[in-house]
Structure 1
């Protein structure tokens, strides 16, 4: 069930494409809320609004904000032109999009005639916070190459929620975005990962693709009960379409939960049991103690028998982020607090730079 409250807008803190960061008064208390302007329209200070307050009342980390359901002082909105594919289907918030696959799309025949990704590298992460370090390292070394981000519907559905994407696009580091499934708001809309990969290759002419869910992840502490398990099926899809599947392992030595120490149990489950094909897993050559933990996990789960484990000497992540004036945070921790996590994502970029591009340095 949805918990709803009536509030009044008292401040508009920030605006970006499709997202308003606002402050609302509810029963005398001023609280934070988000308004998706492309869904619920423009808001002004003083407007009376209906809010979804469910996540805040449950004290959730994922989705833990108020969201505007409707603006009682601005009840009208216009239907956008074109498109017949619905996302958030059969809900009060279903939205119409111009999907690449639509029979009226100018790209319909391109999808139909597709044959192969021709070994196009596709890097697949689990957490949205892997995006920024990967992009920073890749684009610093390949400023003229085209990088496309595919956002799945494993977490946040509107891409507007991601301030990372907004920042990276404004800096010219992400060239195009695609939203799939019930995720929406990308530069291009697709129904599933297969047509999104085809779009990236044939329409957007991508040199590399990064795939992950949007902000947030659902986890339950159980072996299979986490949305990041989608990584396995996505890697299989890349292989099926004759692409080059590359997986980012979730690695941390700052997470206090034992199941996420070293290589997270999420990654081990995906690599050991879910993905059906051989994939490349770049691993940063951390210091001796940390690498010993990781190697024990790799060996005890026999991951090297199934996958291509490649060790990368990567000491450049922080410098790459600072070069573009980018800040990172994951699970509340910044780079200094959890550098191994961010280096794991960056290592995938250096694998592409040093191995796939045929310019592997002698010290690697």
Structure 2
């Protein structure tokens, strides 16, 4: 990078059409220099928009042809630029950037929950399912709720990918169907039912404020990867495993497994998972592996033996019959890297098994399954 290089694409566009609208976000069609583009307006950040409004737009990702779904993002409504902030909250996210926002963090001094964090003792063996992709969330939740419709689930979204939770159509769908009880956004992610500063307080909030039976942690939509050993945002899974153990929970690490991905580094158990479990996490996680057919089993067993992750972690080989049946009959939208359930069953079944494993642990007070 040279001095003076521009890091952000900014253009002015006019609203042509309102495509979708809900309380927190609006999808619109905008015209820029006689070309039409889709854009997203976060209503809580930039207010309402209407047809004819002139908007300042961040066009960076589309300019670079990145996989963002082809959306620009509204920075400001030039026809209504002045917005008053609501009272309360002093914790800044996206700090010291032009886009910094304030949230009322659950743990800050003015919060009614402040003392809960200081009095916290332990998660008392609460299972915490830890994924690396947002697309792991639907199969995990579907399996959990099928086994126990009354189970109370907290979803914790990290800042490893999308920062606004309002971007996630998956979360909208799961909340509308009442499949997750509450959401928590941590780090620089924002917009959950609760905001917390980091994963430790996010887990404490899930246990002590939401009073959940089980927590599921993943990043939001998107993931950063560079094709290097440590250069991917899913590396956070290792730190979350350790945080869960630090607080007295039981971490269930969701392995990223696929035989549909054409990239060799993601074949079988992804190098992301192998790196996290062998190099990053310093403490033990429970890992469910599907009982695949012989050729896939041999491939995965060789990966496990080569990395020796079985020496650090509890690897459980699981029958997939029930989870497969649940997911095959599900109406929840499941897609990962452009592939649906039928085109990447191994990925979604592996994620669903983490939900089944969470149920088994909840139903096993003596934790015989982990011995």
Aligned residue in 2 for 1:151:
157
Say which SS state the counterpart of residue 169 (structure 1) adopts.
Answer: helix
Aligned residue in 2 for 1:121:
127
Instruction: Answer whether contact 2:323 2:356 (CA < 8 A) is retained.
Output: no
Aligned residue in 1 for 2:205:
199
Cα shift at 1:63: 7.2
Aligned residue in 2 for 1:271:
277
Say which SS state the counterpart of residue 25 (structure 1) adopts.
Answer: strand
Give 1:233-248 correspondences, 5 Å limit.
233-248=239-254
Cα shift at 1:321: 4.2
| TM-score (ref. length: structure 1) | 0.96
Cα shift at 1:110: 0.6
Cα shift at 1:12: 1.1
Give 1:276-287 correspondences, 5 Å limit.
276-287=282-293
Aligned residue in 2 for 1:25:
31
Q: Does residue 220 in structure 1 map to residue 222 in structure 2?
A: no
**CA-atom RMSD, angstroms?**
1.5
The whole-number CA distance in structure 1 between the counterparts of 2:26 and 2:193 is 19
Give 1:1-364 correspondences, 5 Å limit.
1-62=7-68, 64-317=70-323, 319-321=325-327, 325-358=331-364
Instruction: Answer whether contact 1:149 1:177 (CA < 8 A) is retained.
Output: yes
The number of aligned residues is: 360
Instruction: Answer whether contact 2:327 2:349 (CA < 8 A) is retained.
Output: no
Cα shift at 1:353: 2.2
Cα shift at 1:318: 5.3
Q: Compared with structure 1, are the counterparts of its residues 77 and 323 closer, same or farther at alpha carbon in structure 2 (3 Å cutoff)?
A: farther
Instruction: Answer whether contact 1:121 1:243 (CA < 8 A) is retained.
Output: yes
Cα shift at 1:290: 1.2
1:216-257: CA deviation from partner (whole Å, max 9, x where unpaired)? 000000000000000000100000011101100000101110
The whole-number CA distance in structure 2 between the counterparts of 1:8 and 1:278 is 53
Cα shift at 1:114: 0.5
Say which SS state the counterpart of residue 321 (structure 2) adopts.
Answer: coil
1:275-306: CA deviation from partner (whole Å, max 9, x where unpaired)? 00111001111222112111111111111111
Instruction: Answer whether contact 1:154 1:228 (CA < 8 A) is retained.
Output: yes
Instruction: Answer whether contact 1:314 1:350 (CA < 8 A) is retained.
Output: no
Say which is worse superposed, 235-244 or 284-293, in terms of deviation: 284-293
The whole-number CA distance in structure 2 between the counterparts of 1:191 and 1:355 is 28
Structure 1: tracts of 5 or more residues without a match: none
Q: Compared with structure 1, are the counterparts of its residues 262 and 69 closer, same or farther at alpha carbon in structure 2 (3 Å cutoff)?
A: same
Say which is worse superposed, 91-100 or 157-166, in terms of deviation: 91-100
